[in-house]
Amino acid sequence: MAERQDRDAAEEAARTAEELARTADEAASGAAEAAAQAREISEGLMGYADLLNSPSEIVYLLGIFVLAIFVGYYVVWSVTPALHTPLMSVTNAISSVVVVGALIALGADLTQSAAGMWPKAFGFIAVALASVNIVGGFMVTQRMLEMYKKKER
């Protein structure tokens, strides 16, 4: 009887040891996956750091931004009043696409992201600014359309 109890205890200990070994293997593979993900994230962040640390890249991107400002200014101010209303409609459509993209950024699950809350913050700012742009565009469009109505005497 004592032999049987010893054998049962040994079998139970062997099963427990096997379960613990499987759990350790799973934890090790999970740790390896987490390390690989962390390595990928750090490599991606290093790419951004290299971009920001390079003065020539910053100057290049800043130059594109300044040129875009000038081109946008001259394009907007050279529009004739007859084309203003259709262009405002297109601008409102583009802003609505920005709102959709910003809402996707706001709804993204970023719990495992190294970026933290920055995408959600920028998504919120984008929703707010695009919404102001849409509402203002519709108000200006309405005002432009009222200019073309015949005045009652």
Task: Output the pTM of the full model.
Answer: 0.41
> How do residues 99-122 score in pLDDT, each as one tens digit?
888 888 777 766 666 666 777 788
Contact criterion met (CB below 8 Å) for 141 and 85:
yes
Q: Could you give the CA distance from residue 144 to residue 77 in angstroms, rounded to a whole number?
A: 15
Contact criterion met (CB below 8 Å) for 141 and 90:
no
Q: Where are the alpha helices (DSSP H) in 54-80?
A: 55-77
> How do residues 64-82 score in pLDDT, each as one tens digit?
889 988 888 887 777 777 7
- 3-class DSSP string for 4-30: HHHHHHHHHHHHHHHHHHHHHHHHHHH
Q: Could you give the CA distance from residue 39 to residue 31 in angstroms, rounded to a whole number?
A: 12
- Identify which of 29-33, 115-119, 128-132 has the greatest average pLDDT: 128-132
